[in-house]
A and B are shown apart, each in its own frame.
Chain A
Amino acid sequence: MKNSLWLVKLIAIAFVGFMMGYAVPPFLEVGFGDNVELLEEGEALPDDIMKQYEHLYQDDEDD
């Protein structure tokens, strides 16, 4: 049973390690401190998605 628990731990560490692989490069690009704005902009939202929510920001009087 101890072997399967080690296997479980290894699987969990492998997945977390894989995700760390995603997180570390942006961190290396930015470095320590509050330099997040130095990162390149991500993919912009398609216009049609934001249009679906436009009505939610309008006042009743405008409807």
Chain B
Amino acid sequence: MEIAIPQKNRIWVLVIVGFFALISIGTYAIHEYYIYLSAYLWFGFIYGMCLQYGRFCFASAFRDLFAVGVPRMVVGIMIATLLFSITSSLVASTGWSTFHAAPWSVHAIIAGLIFGIGMVFAGGCASGSLYKAGEGNGVSMLVILSISVTQSSFVDLGGWFNNLVPKSWAESALTKSMPSSIKVSDGWVDQYLAGYVWDQPVITFAKLLGLEDTSLVGAFVGNTFLGVFLPAICLLAIVYTLWSRQRFTLDFEASEGHKPGLADHVRGYWEMIVSSKRTAIAGLFLGIACGLQMFVIEGLRMKFGVKNAGTLLQRLGHDFGISAKGTVFDPGYWYVTTQEAQWVGWVAQKLGWNNMDNIYFGWVNGIPNPAINPADWMSVALIGGAAVMALSNGEFKWKAPTKELAFWALLGGAFMGIGSRLALGCNVGAFFVRTANGDVSGWSFGLGMVGGAYVGVKIFNWYTERQMAKEMANLDFDL
């Protein structure tokens, strides 16, 4: 049965798209350089549409798996990662990828663990919260606020927290060449980054085979086949064995009258994969869009003769909040959390909190005005794209958070904020993009995130059962 979509939804869809189109055309009329920001905007818009269509949320995926044993979305996410890795390798083998692998060590697992607990508490991962905000979900809006504020505050923690910095980190951090504006010895995250993370090796699966990431063989054999395809096949086999096999066996025995053999289980495995059609279709388009974004951004950089959007902003006269090395956050691909930290960092800076003396803002990402921050354009458009999709399908609804849900949203968001800063990314930047590009640290973060999601589900179940028991105890039954 088709749902009747109100006429006002159609109007809102056109208003949202019209607004983004007007921004793109208007800014382009002011200066050609603004097309760089529009590239972020329209890819963000496409991501939003895909995420909402596929219900692409890591928190929901692992909660469904661990709490009720439904693997559908986890399978969809694995397929999406696989499809994205193909487009990534295609772009990487042209030598035009904007992707840079991250340092790898145990920190990625620990960060993933913290992030995983947070996303279950919050009821949405970093990207899931964005698309749910586009559906009018107030809880998700609180999650975004919490992630943003936590990150911005966490990266500037100094004073007493310096006592928690190991001596080796502090010593190593001091050896890094930093301008005097960056107080590298004052700040836990500063010393964690410069004294520990930057000293860790950067490893991709292509490099493990002694191949270049930009070579055709390195990209497809190393990073896609060895780095994504094989692990994904194995993980899906584990998911099938633990969560789908039993149901398939029962159904098979009921219809065929005997136990399934190996060939039947292979068919069952394939059925599990194709049952995640909606998430997989979203994943396919996400993969294509992610690959195209890397290609377009690199092309625009070549066209304008820049390596970072900071140079373009300076040329346009927007020099507030540019980092000490003249850069702003400009990943060149899909990313979620850093731009969330930036807008709070920008507001705090305007209110008198000096954020430009830490490495995260002052040296690497900057805190440009959110109105001209490329990555912020991507996130705002992502919410808009999700809203358009939700309105078109009659799934948009304003939902105010209850006090209890607001508490979990703020707590979960804080965990995710800390986890994403420790990992230098979230479920998108630290897992989805890295894994698809053959970065070993992506799987490490993923491992921690799955463990964290499991712990989060257990804690959440314990809390819910305790609350229910309390409520039941308070009920008076007249028998």
Interface residues of A (CB under 8 A from B): 1-2, 4-5, 7-9, 11-12, 15-16, 18-20, 22-27, 30, 32-36, 39-43, 45-46, 49-50, 52-53, 55-60, 63
Contact A15 B300 (CB under 8 A): no
Chain A residue numbers with a CB within 8 Å of B322 are 53
Bound CA span A52–B43, Å: 33
5 residue pairs of the A-B complex, CB under 8 angstroms, read A12-B49, A19-B39, A22-B299, A25-B299, A25-B303
Chain B stretch 11-59: residues in CB contact (< 8 A) with chain A:
13-14, 17, 21, 24, 35, 38-39, 42-43, 45-46, 49
Contact A15 B302 (CB under 8 A): no
Q: Specify the main secondary structure of chain A where it touches its partner.
A: helix
Stretch with Cβ within 8 A of A (4 or more), from B108-116, B146-154, B196-204, B304-312: B304-312
Bound CA span A33–B179, Å: 35
Chain A residue numbers with a CB within 8 Å of B21 are 11, 15
Tell which of A16, A18, A30, A55 has the most Cβ of chain B within 10 Å.
Answer: A16
Contact B46 A26 (CB under 8 A): no
Chain B residue numbers with a CB within 8 Å of A7 are 14, 17
Contact A53 B326 (CB under 8 A): yes
Contact B214 A45 (CB under 8 A): no
Chain B residue numbers with a CB within 8 Å of A41 are 305
Contact A49 B14 (CB under 8 A): no
Chain B residue numbers with a CB within 8 Å of A20 are 292, 295-296, 299
Closest to B388 in A: A8
Contact A26 B303 (CB under 8 A): yes
Q: Which of B10, B17, B35, B181 contacts A56 (CB 8 A)?
A: B181
Chain A residue numbers with a CB within 8 Å of B299 are 20, 22-27
Bound CA span A24–B300, Å: 9
Bound CA span A45–B388, Å: 40
Chain A residue numbers with a CB within 8 Å of B43 are 16
Chain A residue numbers with a CB within 8 Å of B185 are none
Contact A26 B302 (CB under 8 A): yes
Closest to A27 in B: B299
Chain A residue numbers with a CB within 8 Å of B105 are none
Chain B residue numbers with a CB within 8 Å of A4 are 10, 13-14, 392
Bound CA span A53–B60, Å: 46
Task: With A15-B24, A26-B303 as known contacts, state yes or no: A53 contacts B13, CB within 8 Å.
Answer: no
Bound CA span A26–B21, Å: 25
**How would residues 91 to 102 of chain B score, 1 for a CB under 8 Å from any chain A CB and 0 otherwise?**
001111000000
Q: Which of A5, A25, A36, A42 contacts B95 (CB 8 A)?
A: A36
Task: With A4-B10, A53-B326, A59-B180 as known contacts, state yes or no: A22 contacts B303, CB within 8 Å.
Answer: yes
Contact B46 A12 (CB under 8 A): yes
Closest to A33 in B: B95
Bound CA span A43–B348, Å: 34
B9 within 8 A of A: yes
Chain B stretch 288-323: residues in CB contact (< 8 A) with chain A:
292, 295-300, 302-306, 311, 314-315, 319, 322
CB distance from A42 to the nearest CB of B (A): 1
Chain A residue numbers with a CB within 8 Å of B42 are 12, 15-16, 19
CB distance from A39 to the nearest CB of B (A): 5
Q: 19 extra interchain contacts, Cβ-Cβ under 8 A, other than A16-B296, A27-B295, A32-B94?
A: A4-B10, A8-B13, A12-B49, A15-B38, A20-B296, A22-B296, A22-B303, A23-B295, A23-B300, A25-B303, A26-B299, A27-B302, A30-B95, A30-B302, A33-B214, A34-B214, A43-B315, A57-B179, A57-B324
Task: With A8-B388, A22-B35, A53-B324 as known contacts, state yes or no: A58 contacts B180, CB within 8 Å.
Answer: yes
B5 within 8 A of A: yes
Chain B residue numbers with a CB within 8 Å of A53 are 322, 324, 326
CB distance from A60 to the nearest CB of B (A): 5
Bound CA span A56–B326, Å: 10
CB distance from B450 to the nearest CB of A (A): 33
Closest to A54 in B: B179
Contact B298 A42 (CB under 8 A): no
Chain A residue numbers with a CB within 8 Å of B214 are 33-34
CB distance from B441 to the nearest CB of A (A): 23
Contact A36 B302 (CB under 8 A): yes
Contact A45 B13 (CB under 8 A): no
Bound CA span A7–B17, Å: 10
Chain B residue numbers with a CB within 8 Å of A45 are 311, 314-315
Chain A residue numbers with a CB within 8 Å of B314 are 45, 49
CB distance from A27 to the nearest CB of B (A): 6
Bound CA span A30–B263, Å: 49
Bound CA span A47–B42, Å: 33
CB distance from B287 to the nearest CB of A (A): 15
CB distance from A5 to the nearest CB of B (A): 5
